[in-house]
Amino acid sequence: MNRIDLTRTALMAVGGLGIMMLGGCEPGPKQTTQNGYRGAGLDQIVDVRHMIKTAAIPDAPYPLPPDGGPKAGETYQNVKVLSGLSTERFNHLMAEISQWIAPPEQGCAYCHNPENMASDEKYTKVVARRMLQMTQAINSTWSPHVQKVGVTCYTCHRGNGVPAYKWALPTGAPHPGSILGNRHDQNELSPDAAYSDLPTTGFADYLYGSNNIRVYGTTALPKYDGTGASVQTAEKTYGLMMHMSKALGVNCTFCHNTQAFGVWNLSRPQRATAWYGIRMVRDINNTYISSLKSVFPDNHDRKGPLGDPYKVNCMTCHQGQNKPLGGVSMLAQAPALWGPIPAFVKPGAASAAATPVAPASPVPLAMNATAAQPAMK
């Protein structure tokens, strides 16, 4: 064998070893879906081994009864949110909520005193009433995000009294055993940031506070003035983006175009849906969950280390799928959750308006590129 043959053989061996090493790094099949024109950099690449399967959706406890007959406010006492719903559909929804949330061994007693069902003595009943208002507001106000699928209690709870995925304001205390003191939710490899080692403080800034997401500027080393962002702000933004990617089971090109991440007219429509989603989650946390701080008991699994009520993020609903529950709507069996129900009015009493619902943040129903774009992620 001459020198050329030896060289060729050695190169083939090295090449084969390289392929084996690469194959060892990322084994398993990948699914690639081309979005847009070829070469636009919008392909979705999914590792089949890590795809989240759609969870089993429970059947309704019994078929939805016809609407009509006495109203819940006429049949029962102390019905505040659903008093205008028919008694039969009210009972059906209560059975569904028990199935969606309450531990099987407790059932109705999870929220009610069986000896006095009208009593508000259990905090879980007060919370459930507020959550009903929240769910109705999401389906009626935030349709630019939830579309026609909508949400029910099961979307987040999945049979648990407390949703599996939640967060609370950070403690701000030094990390145990660390000489560096407060880590600011960084260097923790947190699942909330897809184990990316990026900070999760973006939840407080963008899913609870009113800060706008910024990652780029037009000058070197920009100061945050509403047009650019510091490195620290960019880290929070990327931490939130990693969370969204993990929560939806997608890569960045599900919303963004890799040619220009910040340019809206090159982005996919899903980016606008995500924009509404961020503001929807912010409204849920500010308007509904924070208002229950005094209702939840202290030192309970409903509150974080600082006594802050556990809040929602993208994972709470999506749980690894770009459409919660695989895009299956459960509202056909719970139509009362589409929006506020007009209150029951006793015969002869003055006409009542719809059940009051805490006002949500104003939501533009159509995108205004000039006015809205600076506030988008």
pLDDT at residue 20, rounded to an integer: 46
* Buried b or exposed e, range 245-263, using 16+ CB within 10 angstroms: bbbbbbebbbbbbeeebee
Residue 42 located in a structural domain: yes
Q: Encoding tokens for residue 140?
A: 């009626």
- Lowest-confidence range among 78-92, 324-338, 362-376? 362-376
pLDDT at residue 194, rounded to an integer: 73
Residue 248 located in a structural domain: yes
Tens digits of per-residue pLDDT, 21-72?
444 455 557 777 777 777 766 777 776 666 666 667 899 999 999 999 999 9
Domain extent, residue 101, equals: 30-375
Q: Percent of the chain at pLDDT above 70?
A: 72
pLDDT bin (cut points 50, 70, 90) of residue 359 is very low
CA-CA distance, 189 to 194, in Å (whole number)?
A: 8
140, 157 contact by CB (below 8 A): no
Which residue pairs from 41-49 have beta carbons closer than 8 angstroms and sit at least 24 positions apart in sequence? 41/253, 41/257, 41/258, 41/259, 42/253, 42/257, 42/258, 42/268, 43/253, 44/250, 44/251, 44/253, 44/254, 45/251, 46/249, 46/250
pLDDT at residue 296, rounded to an integer: 93
The count of structural domains within the chain is 1
Residue 320: which region, alpha, beta or left (left: phi > 0; alpha: psi -120 to 50)? left
Residue 90 located in a structural domain: yes
Residue 79 located in a structural domain: yes
Residue 24 located in a structural domain: no
Q: What's the Cα-to-Cα distance from 329 to each of 150, 218, 226, 367, rounded to whole Å? A: 6, 44, 39, 25
Residue 236 located in a structural domain: yes
Tens digits of per-residue pLDDT, 127-155?
999 999 999 999 999 999 999 999 999 99
Q: Read off the pLDDT of each residue in 118-127 and give the average, rounded to a whole number.
A: 96
CA-CA distance, 60 to 126, in Å (whole number)?
A: 24
Q: Answer with the residue of higher pLDDT: 82 or 51.
A: 82
Mean pLDDT, the chain, rounded, equals 80
Q: Read off the pLDDT of each residue in 265-281 and give the average, rounded to a whole number.
A: 94
- CB count within 10 Å of CB 325 equals 21
pLDDT at residue 210, rounded to an integer: 83
Tens digits of per-residue pLDDT, 162-185?
999 999 987 555 555 555 556 666
DSSP state of 71: B
Q: Answer with the residue of higher pLDDT: 46 or 12.
A: 46
- Lowest-confidence range among 95-99, 181-185, 192-196, 372-376? 372-376
- Lowest-confidence range among 16-25, 57-66, 106-115? 16-25
Strand partners, 86: 71
Residue 10 located in a structural domain: no
Residue 308 located in a structural domain: yes
CATH number of the domain bearing residue 348? 1.10.468.10
